[in-house]
């Protein structure tokens, strides 16, 4: 099983998994952000990139594997689960059935609504919410300021650069401060934003912590080590 780290917050502990998901052990809640189902078909339809539209199936498979390992009581998708408002029209019957079968296997599943998906395709099960508060954590899609609880959000797709065997590699990461955790994007075709970008630094209070992942291992980076890369 991929590596995990326990991150301590003022609301309690949260587990970061190398597969770009997080787990709240108190309530057995599994968190995943920015699935972006049907991004491949969107890019094909608009002619932006010659990519095979296999991302939805790959993302479903990856999420199903994580759910199987954790057996959570609740899964919360933190917004932008679908790449655009017409994604449901392109979602195949087979993929819709696979998502619903996954949801039916769980005690509870919640779609947090995002800016890409202000609504969820009608063919899909699960409850829809603008936000949730669980175990003292405020779960949203966009970073939300002024919360008394620790905000866990998605949207920004943080990534960082790590050095492995004299090579610098770009990897998705968890970006954290005392009152906020920004989740990495889970979807197969999602990109990333450097953690030194002002869109991220403006919503993280110093000192920040970063956990970069290659899909299995997790590399904890200090704020200083991230800032040391001039190309970021």
Helix pair angle (93-104, 55-70), 10° resolution: 10
CATH 2.30.30 fits 4-227, yes or no: no
pLDDT for residue 4 is more than 70? yes
Give residues with Cβ within 8 angstroms of 169, minimum separation 6: 161, 162, 163, 214
Comparing 147 with 151, the larger pLDDT belongs to 151
Domain ranges of the chain: 4-227
- Alpha-carbon distance of 6 to 218, in angstroms, equals 11
- Range of lowest pLDDT (52-56, 62-66, 126-130, 139-143): 52-56
pLDDT for the residue 188? 73
Provide the pLDDT confidence category of residue 217 given band limits of 50, 70 and 90. confident
Give residues with Cβ within 8 angstroms of 213, minimum separation 6: 2, 16, 18, 19, 20, 171, 172, 173, 174, 184, 219
pLDDT for the residue 230? 41
63 neighbors 186 (Cβ within 8 angstroms)? yes
28-61 pLDDT per residue, tens: 999 999 998 866 555 666 666 566 667 888 899 9
3-state secondary structure of 100: helix
Comparing 167 with 11, the larger pLDDT belongs to 11
Could you tell me the pTM of the whole model?
0.90
pLDDT for the residue 198? 92
151 neighbors 118 (Cβ within 8 angstroms)? no
pLDDT for the residue 161? 79
Comparing 119 with 67, the larger pLDDT belongs to 67
188-200 pLDDT per residue, tens: 778 789 998 999 9
């Amino acid at each position: 099983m991929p590596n995990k780290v326990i991150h301590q917050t003022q609301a309690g502990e949260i587990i970061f998994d190398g597969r770009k998901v997080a787990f709240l052990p108190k309530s057995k809640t599994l968190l995943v952000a920015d699935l972006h189902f049907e991004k491949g078909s969107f890019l094909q339809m608009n002619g932006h990139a010659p990519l095979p539209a296999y991302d939805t199936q790959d993302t479903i498979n990856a999420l199903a594997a994580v759910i199987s390992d954790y057996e959570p009581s609740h899964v919360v998708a933190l917004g932008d689960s679908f790449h655009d408002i017409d994604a449901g029209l392109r979602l195949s019957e087979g993929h819709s059935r696979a998502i619903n079968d996954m949801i039916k296997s769980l005690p509870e599943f919640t779609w947090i609504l995002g800016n890409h998906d202000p609504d969820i395709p009608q063919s899909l099960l699960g409850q829809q919410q603008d936000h949730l508060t669980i175990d003292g954590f405020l779960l949203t899609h966009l970073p939300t300021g002024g919360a008394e609880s620790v905000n866990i959000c998605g949207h920004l797709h943080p990534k960082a650069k790590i050095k492995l065997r004299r090579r610098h590699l770009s990897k998705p990461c968890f970006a954290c401060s005392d009152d906020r955790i920004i989740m990495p994007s889970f979807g197969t075709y999602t990109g990333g934003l450097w953690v030194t970008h002002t869109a991220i630094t403006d919503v993280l209070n110093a000192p920040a912590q970063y956990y970069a992942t290659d899909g299995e291992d997790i590399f904890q980076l200090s704020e200083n080590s991230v800032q040391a890369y001039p190309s970021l």
